[in-house]
Structure 1
Amino acid sequence: MSMNNSLTVEASKTGLRRNIFAGAIGVLVHWFDWAVYAYLATTISHVFFPEQSETAALLSVFAVFAVAFFVRPLGSLIFGHLGDTLGRKKTLSLVIIMMAAGTLMLGLIPSHETIGIWAPVLLIVARVIQGIAAGGEFGSAAAFLAEYSPPKKRGFGCSWIEFGSVLGFLLASVTVAGLHMLFDDETIANGAWRIPFLLTVPLAAVGLYIRLKIEDTPEYQALQDMDTVPAAPIREVFKYNKTQFFQTIGVEIFMNCTFYVVLVYLITYQESMIGMSAGQAATLSTIASLTAVAIIPLAGIASDKIGRKPVLITAGVLLVALAWPLFTYMNQGTPMAGFISTFGLASILSLILGTHAATVAELFPTRTRQSGLSIAYSIAGAFFAGTLPYINTWLISVTGNHMIPAYTLMVVGGIGLITLFTMPETAGRNLLHESDLAAAKNQTPEFHRMKEGV
């Protein structure tokens, strides 16, 4: 297939739906696994760290949560390189297998009462496996969906990544709420907490089956046809795409930190700091997820109509302006205060979720897209978002100030706005950049040195 034909290939509607589903299902599985751990943090702390005080045990659980983020960069290096050198399809399949294996292991680990210190050790091992897989998930899915979506609907197409992630959170919160309805706290602590983790196996099997049936993207096939698949994409990122790389880190700090405060940490905050019951907090988490599921595709459509930057800037301004009032209202502790504040935070988050993936995917050329996205995303998660639950819990315990999460969101909103003002508008941009075509025309000497291993 010629380069021109590659550029004009449009998948059938059935094929496009299948590809969108293939990208979203893996993200759904990934975030279902991730969210269940966060939602069951209090229970897990008693199972694996029973000898510590309640606060110390919770901090230990969140520390293990953060460990998985710190190994994300390793996963991003591995899967980013594989995606840009071997194709998007292979990494999509490998990532979902690895994530499922780590989660299954977590669900089968005996308690501290049974095997002692080996219980938390194995918990860390399972989270490391999950973290390495997570390092490759976003870059693989974002590159795949961006390259398969029509240019005028790329924001909408890429929004399904985060639709899948929030749907994973929604399924997790519904599952945890169901556990609390079906079992008492003692039964959950004695083993029922494992059920959600074991549900990963059939979910992952479905995701893997679908991902094995897809083809690689038209843009990646164009690189293959031109014989310009990069030999060292990570080197190219740091030589030619440094600006795009740091812009992506800024956008992903904006997204990830907001995501983890609103959809991960908030349920623990509402239980531990405000005094809500586990069932009430899980219900509010479900409301947050439902809100996001409804708004995310609309945000993607809006970014196709008016541009990526206007949508993201609106979210940044709202986050800076409303984080403090919403947390102040939430701390009143009434059902109405919980509902309105959770709905408001989830709505702001949804604007970011529906737009960020297309935005950062359009920044990079096809040659380095998966590597650049994967590494930048994992750095933002590892050094910023992954530590937020721990930092917020620690700062509140030290200062006694329950408004700490609001202040962190205001800072995150500021980072997002500063980053966005340095970026061009990317909506509708051709995903085969000049550097992709220059390599084909033998106009990039560095490309040949890399290909020859010099």
Structure 2
Amino acid sequence: MTASKTGELPSGEQSLLRRAVAAAAIGNCTEWYDFGVYAYVATYVGAAFFPGDNTTAQTLSAFGAFALSFLLRPLGSLFFGPLGDRIGRQRVLAITILLMSGSTFVIGLLPEFGTIGYFAPILFLLCRMLQGFSTGGEYGGAATYIAEYAPTKRRGFYGSWLEFGTLVGFGLGALVPTALILSLSDPAMHSWGWRIPFLIAGPLGGVGLYLRKKLEDTPAFKHLEQSHNIAKSPLKSMLVDHWRTLLVLMGIVVIINVGNYTLLTYMPTYLKQTLNISDTAALIPLIIVIVLLLVLITFVGRLSDTVGRKPVFLSACICFIVLPIPAFMLIAQGSWITTLLGLTLLGLCHVQLIGPLAATLPAMFPTKVRYAAFSIGYNVATSAIGGTTPLINDAMVELTGNNFFPAYYLMGAAALGIIPVLLMKETAGRPLDEGEAATDAATAKTA
């Protein structure tokens, strides 16, 4: 990619960049569609696959399966990350979207516990584990793909479209179950309605696979191939030469994931089951907040290109320390207006984290280990913190009787998150590595 001094690309390269961004973002869309669906139909999934009459226990079992699938994400990143640094980003991303969407689709076809007994939860867990394994190679690869295509001065803007895909996917994953819950009877939802959102993942993944198969690999990876500089052991190089940066990345990912999985995954269950808020007052406000984040996220990404990534991340951490208590006080009032206001406060905190995310973390590592280092660091932290967030929140609210526990969890994660944010190097406006720096210098010389 050759950019001018203003960061603009020739029209042909601009078109290629847009297609690359779309192909990368649709995988994230598919991943978070699954999470959105799971968040909204967790109670139905628990009743379908886990025995017993205790709704709380069944929901905890469903969230336990959700958390268990995250244990496979580090293994997936250990497999797909180094593979992406050896054979290319495009090939691996085609595999991950096929496995992600396929495993989600199959869940919609599985027989329930009442039909095949304990084989039902076993098959369900296997699908969730395959989904987690393939997801381990998805986000790191998609973010790396966009970062290596985007011009240096606009990496924040283009990277924010990956998280735009996240929000679109979660929005679809929230909207489809919401429409079904509000239009179908409860027996119909328990009988067959919960399956429909999972089945939609099949064609969604098919579109993503088609787009990814049409793309070439990134210019940065091609440069490595042409210069015969591909790392023989990306994992060894990452651990020996970049372990400090890896720890900083994992620290940043902790607050991002606590925010993600509290707001987008746990909140629907919290509103309905813990606060006993009606379906309309619980589901509609979150969808409105997602739309608001969709409007804001690319502006936040562009802002990080101007003021830097660190100031935006620091602002997010401070907001997550100050605003969760007022937000949960508003949500606890129970009306859809106060719920909307409380969720909006949390959303404004969170968009500052995810806006610059895809531009920041891949740029922390050189091209030869970028896919592996980002994927492994991101997914180890996500497995430990992200996947367990709904389970911890639900269990601690049940154990302590304190409905504000999720607020305290957010505040604690944000307080810890400030440390790695201060330690990270500013990446805004800087080339990804020496190869890109040489390209930028040659472009500027001829411009």
Q: Distance in 2 between matches of 1:411 and 1:326?
A: 15
Contact 2:281 2:334 in 1 (8 A): no
Does 1:395 find its partner at 2:396? yes
> Aligned residue for 1:251?
252
Correspondence 1:45-444 to 2 at 5 A: 45-433=46-434
The percentage of counterpart residues that share the same residue type is 37
What is the TM-score of this pair, normalised by structure 2? 0.94
Contact 2:159 2:359 in 1 (8 A): yes
Question: Counterpart of 1:48 in structure 2: which amino acid?
Answer: F
Q: Distance in 2 between matches of 1:235 and 1:38?
A: 37
Q: How many residues align?
A: 431
Per the alignment, do residues 9 and 220 of structure 1 end up closer, same or farther by CA in structure 2, a change over 3 Å counting? farther
| C-alpha deviation, 1:336, in angstroms | 1.8
Contact 2:238 2:373 in 1 (8 A): yes
Q: Distance in 2 between matches of 1:85 and 1:67?
A: 29
Contact 1:365 1:436 in 2 (8 A): no
Q: Distance in 1 between matches of 2:157 and 2:196?
A: 34
Question: Counterpart of 1:193 in structure 2: which amino acid?
Answer: W
| C-alpha deviation, 1:158, in angstroms | 0.8
| C-alpha deviation, 1:99, in angstroms | 0.4
Q: Secondary structure at the match of 2:137?
A: helix
Question: Counterpart of 1:255 in structure 2: which amino acid?
Answer: I
Off by >3 Å, runs of 4+ in structure 1:
8-11, 433-437
| C-alpha deviation, 1:278, in angstroms | 2.7
| C-alpha deviation, 1:34, in angstroms | 2.0
> Aligned residue for 1:40?
41
Question: Counterpart of 1:30 in structure 2: which amino acid?
Answer: E
Contact 2:30 2:204 in 1 (8 A): yes
What is the TM-score of this pair, normalised by structure 1? 0.92
Q: Distance in 2 between matches of 1:412 and 1:98?
A: 32
Question: Counterpart of 2:356 in structure 1: which amino acid?
Answer: T
Which consecutive residues of structure 1, in runs of 5 or more, have no partner in the other structure? Answer: 2-7, 438-454
Question: Counterpart of 1:350 in structure 2: which amino acid?
Answer: V
Which consecutive residues of structure 2, in runs of 5 or more, have no partner in the other structure? Answer: 2-7, 439-447
Q: Aligned Cα RMSD in Å?
A: 1.7
| C-alpha deviation, 1:430, in angstroms | 1.4
Q: Secondary structure at the match of 1:71?
A: helix
Deviations 1:372-393 (Å, cap 9, x if unpaired)?
1101111111111111111111
Contact 1:219 1:431 in 2 (8 A): no
Q: Distance in 2 between matches of 1:55 and 1:25?
A: 34
Question: Counterpart of 1:344 in structure 2: which amino acid?
Answer: L
> Aligned residue for 1:16?
17
| C-alpha deviation, 1:399, in angstroms | 0.8
Contact 1:287 1:342 in 2 (8 A): no
Question: Counterpart of 2:180 in structure 1: which amino acid?
Answer: L
Q: Distance in 2 between matches of 1:12 and 1:49?
A: 51
Q: Distance in 1 between matches of 2:20 and 2:185?
A: 41
> Aligned residue for 2:441?
none
Per the alignment, do residues 9 and 215 of structure 1 end up closer, same or farther by CA in structure 2, a change over 3 Å counting? farther
Contact 2:25 2:142 in 1 (8 A): yes
| C-alpha deviation, 1:436, in angstroms | 11
Q: Distance in 2 between matches of 1:435 and 1:350?
A: 29
Q: Distance in 2 between matches of 1:182 and 1:410?
A: 37
Deviations 1:256-308 (Å, cap 9, x if unpaired)?
11000011101110011111123332212212211221111111000001100
